[in-house]
Chains A and B, each alone.
Chain A
């Protein structure tokens, strides 16, 4: 399903990992370069970034170098006298041709990755992501060919970040932590849980305005647009917690709309999914008691209950 180019790069990524132990999952203080990421596809963006940066650096050194040489050699104060020529066809042909060749190489490198990114077929799991001002909704659609029933929830900024970020809260953003990691504005009440080594297809849309779903460790972002369903895929290789944020201006709380993906082993995921399905069925059995999901999950539950009610309200309308 994926191109050979990616597999070669995955090997290269593994080789690099041997020499540099720093696998950046989340932003680090003083981080200078893009994260290599943890998905099957993410090294594509990382390597392309490095190659392009390298090409630009080399061209920059040559051009600026020539310029600085000119600035020292041809100073009037050193007695330089201006020459008369102002044209050289050969030179112009050369510096048109060489960039074109460089561009062809870069284009070739980019195109392969793009083709494999666009291919969402053969996925083993589907998750529907919906952006709302200012929270994300995740609905699990199917897993390994089986439809998932009633697993979906809202995911919004965690309470501690939310209190700290208020104007004049007096709280210190540095004290918002999970373990050793500072998670200020990068933590949610309910993360999206995904299995590793599984090709997960995302279908992404929005309920009000345009948002953009971005987890740097996965290597891409894609806009969540009302009325349009976008597709993307990921295959996470390393278990862990990966953090991102909405990347399209979506209103006043645009900066407070984080995304957290928790990648777990397949066994853990199966267990988690079974729990969620069981919890989801409980209120379905007794639909008259809206308070039922409250103990199962804390803050997100009322919100998720209200949005799941919306499609339910639509169905009778369609029938009638």
Chain B
């Protein structure tokens, strides 16, 4: 009986619902929900970017010209929260939603209704958080880390904490869904060690999310009770400890930065082999390296706290553990380069972004290694050197990987080719201006400019001006990105082939472009030569 019912049910839903509201607001389809996530994250990318423009405009020259210092702090805080929780993470979830079922040969996500819920929580969470900017007391201004006691001076604690709880619930549901899909929904013959690296990277990321989002929820809940219910978790006068918050926060916060980069590693590991026309070098090493990085990410949190006055033993332990991360990360970089070596390279836009990722992310990794050395970190900590470091890993790392993925899979999503010319214009503008924007910030930090200051000594003027010019131009370049996507989705005449890229391997390239609303109603038969890594046995 159940069998017959599914059959009837199945027949009704071959196409997408024609009603706009039903399709986009009530969807349980992984492709539509993936699209929703991606559109949402693009919107947040521009909102978070506009906050960054306010910051760079104020820092254009010494002296306060545009905004009050408190508003400047709101901008730095909101820029970070929106970019992390609104732009980067939902973009990866969107990519995961779209591609994981296609890559493992599953008809949909394992828990489609929860998938809908985990997306639709986000717009409400962000509406709540952004609304604080229009409230009498203003938005959060204590930095995205929300260190007490400073963050408790803000009037918007309750709103921000509630918004973060919602984002956390959304992330955890998304992670559960991804784990359930990968572990249960793979097509027969799709062994774990035949999965694309992108799927592996998301599987590991999802475990990180489940492990640490509750920790953040706990930390911010303690903030809430300190503020409104008279507890003293972090209040020294009541016997609490402000450093406790930092430990709890960074136990979340450090794995969080890997949540924002591991899927990027997966993306680059798909793109580089495709455009090198050569399987990825050392597939197993790549998977184990991601797992090793994920494990290490849990035991290095205090490297964000070298200047809080930790005991000597703790400083040394966290320094060594942090330095160790550069070993698996180095393996990944070396393997990407070896994948290119001996290949047959072409340089379409996704490949250009992937190559820029490898170089610029490595530069971010270098400054990360420098930051790990505690005696030097005493000088770098909380300066623009740190700002330069994490923007190299998050903008030219995570964001460039997302852009690379967008160009790579956009023809599969829309069934049409994007404009290669404008894609390349977008790439060259982005890669030039992002370096103009962030590279001088290394010098500012080394010369002694603290981060999160709205105004500075004239000695810092030149590099700040260069950085601001780079910032405005990098921001403007992203409008090209928007244009390319809109053109591809609605106006492009050029049809995409099923296997869009000559060297592309994997199940997602065996389905038509655009990917039909439902795929793999019957599990695909796996042919090893169709998979990116089907031949792993050495």
Q: Do A and B bind each other?
A: yes
Interface, chain A (partner B; CB < 8 A): 26-35, 44-45, 48-49, 52-53, 56, 59-60, 63-64, 66-67, 70-71, 74-77, 80-88, 91-92, 95-96, 99-100, 103, 106-107, 109-111, 113-115, 117-118, 164-169, 171-174, 182-186, 204, 208-210, 212, 214, 216, 219-223, 225-228, 230-231, 244-256
Once the chains bind, are A222 and B307 in contact (CB under 8 Å)?
yes
Listed in ascending order, the chain B residues whose CB lies under 8 Å from chain A are 62-65, 67-70, 73, 141-143, 147, 149-150, 153, 236-237, 240-243, 276-283, 285, 307-309, 312, 315-316, 319-320, 323-324, 326-327, 330-331, 333-335, 337-347, 355, 358-359, 362-363, 366-367, 369-370, 373-376, 378-379, 381-383, 443, 446-450, 452-463, 503, 538
Q: CB-CB < 8 A to A252: which residues of B?
A: 68-70, 73, 141
Residue with the highest number of chain B CB atoms closer than 10 Å, among A26, A64, A111, A255 = A255
What secondary structure prevails in chain A residues at the interface with B?
mixed
- Which label, helix, strand, loop or mixed, suits the secondary structure of the B interface? helix
B64 contacts A182, C-beta separation under 8 Å: no
20 additional contacts, CB 8 Å, given A74-B344, A109-B373?
A34-B379, A49-B379, A63-B333, A67-B337, A76-B345, A82-B344, A83-B278, A86-B280, A95-B334, A106-B323, A107-B319, A111-B316, A166-B64, A168-B64, A168-B65, A173-B457, A204-B309, A209-B150, A227-B242, A255-B453
Query: A249 and B73 in contact (CB under 8 A), knowing A27-B459, A86-B279, A223-B307?
Result: yes
Q: Which of B323, B370, B379, B455 contacts A56 (CB 8 A)?
A: B370
Closest-CB distance, A67 to chain B (whole angstroms)? 5
Bound Cα distance A35, B446 (Å)? 8
Contact of B375 among A29, A114, A164 (CB under 8 A): A114
In the bound assembly, the distance between CA atoms of A55 and B333 in angstroms comes to: 16
Q: Are B460 and A67 in contact (CB under 8 A)?
A: no
Bound complex: CA of A183 vs CA of B312, how far in Å? 35
Closest 6 CB pairs of A and B: A227-B236, A255-B453, A230-B309, A56-B366, A220-B378, A31-B447
Contact among A26, A82, A107, A172 for B459, CB-based, below 8 A: A26
A-B contact pairs, 8 of them (CB 8 A): A26-B459, A31-B443, A60-B363, A64-B362, A76-B346, A86-B339, A221-B382, A245-B448
Q: Check B369 against A255 for contact (C-beta < 8 Å).
A: no
Q: Which listed residue (A81, A92, A110, A183) contacts B374, Cβ 8 A?
A: A110
Q: Which of A34, A56, A77 lies in contact with B446, CB distance below 8 A?
A: A34
A-side contacts of B279, CB under 8 Å? 86
Contact B457 A185 (CB under 8 A): yes
- Chain A: which residue is nearest B273 at the CB level? A86
Instruction: Point out the residue from A84, A185, A209, A254 that lies within 8 Å of B153, measured CB to CB.
Output: A209
